[in-house]
Amino acid sequence: MSMHELTLRQIASGLANKDFSATELTQSLLARIQAVDPQLNSFITVTEELALSQAKSADERRAAGENGALLGAPIAHKDLFCTRNVLTSCASKILSGFKAPYDATVVEKLAAAGTVTLGKLNMDEFAMGSANESSHFGPVKNPWDLTRVPGGSSGGSAAAVAARLIPAATGTDTGGSIRQPAALTNLTGLKPTYGRVSRWGMIAYASSLDQGGPLARNAEDCALLLQAMAGFDPKDSTSVDQPLDDYLAALSQPLAGLRIGLPREYFGAGLDARIGEKVLGVVEELKKLGATVKEISLPNMQHAIPAYYVIAPAEASSNLSRFDGVRFGYRCENPVNLEDLYKRSRGEGFGTEVKRRIMVGTYALSAGYYDAYYIKAQQIRRLIKNDFVAAFNEVDLIIGPTTPNLAWKIGEKNADPVSAYLEDIYTITANLAGIPGLSMPAGFVDGLPVGVQLLAPYFQEARLLNVAHQYQQVTEWHTQAPTGF
């Protein structure tokens, strides 16, 4: 096996056995990124110098007797995590030239565990999108079909891992941005419970929904990363002070007696029937492993998209007010006065989708409409949460599709943003309720990957990883690589 085909787990044993050093691995992946990424556009910045110095120090720590599972592991970060002295752009022109003076907690924790940062990954501008087409740095291509989108907003993370440029990456998920690109590129991606992973140093999109998490080729690698990323952080006031499970130890638990729920609302109009069949295929496999299945109901699911597309833009309009041409990044040329500076810096710095959401959010929060939109959306959010709480009284795990459709053609949904919003139907309820969700590979339709989503009660990330790992012990979907990569 070539070095670029190895999973994090295999890299850890290769390093421990001295098959190769972290420096050799890093050099070989840097060369591969340079050769292959022009086809994909998954990286915004390649941090060669940083990577080589982190790799050297990982090799030194190993030589001194350390043997951590991530010591020397190459990864890259979504360009929404602040990285000290390295461009952090959120794929927006408005952050041109912005170098954060500090590392995000996630970046810091992973670096402390010994990971090697190869660079910063492309994404939808400010994480707004499902196709990675709204990036100031251009669209990302799906390695399974270069004419198609890789999903979004963590599309660079997904494309880079799927194309074997890096074994794993960080992403963030406000309404599906880890799970949906994982589904469209044949990866395993986990959105943790809200509060499980620190948001400190993550550039905010919708603060009550945003959550960082891992994208990797299998559940075991996600467990390795989550173990290092998660945990209480006094710098994030919504971070939860609750002990971490041992995610790796949980992987091997048998599934006998696991109660699975299939929501009847998931299988209605709008779902590509071929994806529905893959979901049932996963259920059959889990039954063989000892799970039982029953139909459940999530009656308020139909209200999730409208509620999300009020709450997320409302919070975004407030969060993005800090980009004013004064404090960070881009400033317009020759402003005539302060108002002109604000207006033109923002007008020139933000892309179309970001402006659309700032306008929707500002409108929804305005005095005359606040009750009708924002308050109403928050009420719906509570109903959606209650649906999950009721469902999890009956079952341990909910299974369904991650996306209603396969990866679409680049540009196909540009004229109609709402058609892209509808792609989030299965993922955004987990963000609205705050529960954890995972997408894993479940087969192919027309040569394109299909993802199946698992949802669990609050703080049950270990259960999601356990079920996905057990499924991956008896299936091969997750090991398939796109042709040519």
For the chain, how many residues are written? 485
Question: Which residues contact ligand GLN (rule: CB under 6 A)?
Answer: 127-130, 153, 173-177, 205, 312, 424
Pick between residue 12 and residue 314 the one whose CB is nearest to ligand GLN. 314
Q: Which residues contact 378 (CB under 8 A, 6 or more apart)?
A: 307, 311
Pick between residue 125 and residue 145 the one whose CB is nearest to ligand GLN. 125
Query: Of the residues 21, 153, 157, 239, which is catalytic?
Result: 153
Measured from the CB of residue 316, what is the shortest distance to ligand GLN in angstroms? Answer: 8
Helix (H) or strand (E) holding 445: strand 437-445
CA 286 to chain centre: 25
Query: Of the residues 130, 177, 317, 439, which is catalytic?
Result: 177
**Closest of 208, 255, 213 to residue 378, by C-alpha:** 208
Answer for the pair 149, 177: CB distance below 8 angstroms, yes or no. Answer: no
**Closest of 116, 112, 108, 110 to residue 15, by C-alpha:** 116
CA 326 to chain centre: 30
Is 78 in the active site? Answer: yes
Look up residue 183 and give its two tokens: 């589904």
Measured from the CB of residue 416, what is the shortest distance to ligand GLN in angstroms? Answer: 14
Distance separating alpha carbons of residues 248 and 225, to the nearest angstrom: 10
Measured from the CB of residue 135, what is the shortest distance to ligand GLN in angstroms? Answer: 13
Look up residue 266 and give its two tokens: 């998931």
Measured from the CB of residue 22, what is the shortest distance to ligand GLN in angstroms? Answer: 31
Answer for the pair 4, 29: CB distance below 8 angstroms, yes or no. Answer: yes
Answer for the pair 81, 214: CB distance below 8 angstroms, yes or no. Answer: no
Find the helix packing angle between 219-229 and 461-474, rounded to 10°. Answer: 160
Pick between residue 127 and residue 438 the one whose CB is nearest to ligand GLN. 127
Pick between residue 387 and residue 424 the one whose CB is nearest to ligand GLN. 424
Phi, psi of 75 (to 5 degrees): -145, 180
Name residue, tokens 């096996």.
Answer: 1
Pick between residue 403 and residue 470 the one whose CB is nearest to ligand GLN. 403
Distance separating alpha carbons of residues 446 and 455, to the nearest angstrom: 26
Query: Of the residues 42, 78, 157, 278, which is catalytic?
Result: 78
Q: What is the rounded end-to-end Cα distance, in angstroms, of the chain?
A: 13
Pick between residue 43 and residue 205 the one whose CB is nearest to ligand GLN. 205
Is 120 in the active site? Answer: no
Pick between residue 425 and residue 442 the one whose CB is nearest to ligand GLN. 425
Measured from the CB of residue 33, what is the shortest distance to ligand GLN in angstroms? Answer: 24
Measured from the CB of residue 153, what is the shortest distance to ligand GLN in angstroms? Answer: 4
Measured from the CB of residue 426, what is the shortest distance to ligand GLN in angstroms? Answer: 12
Catalytic residues: 78, 153, 177
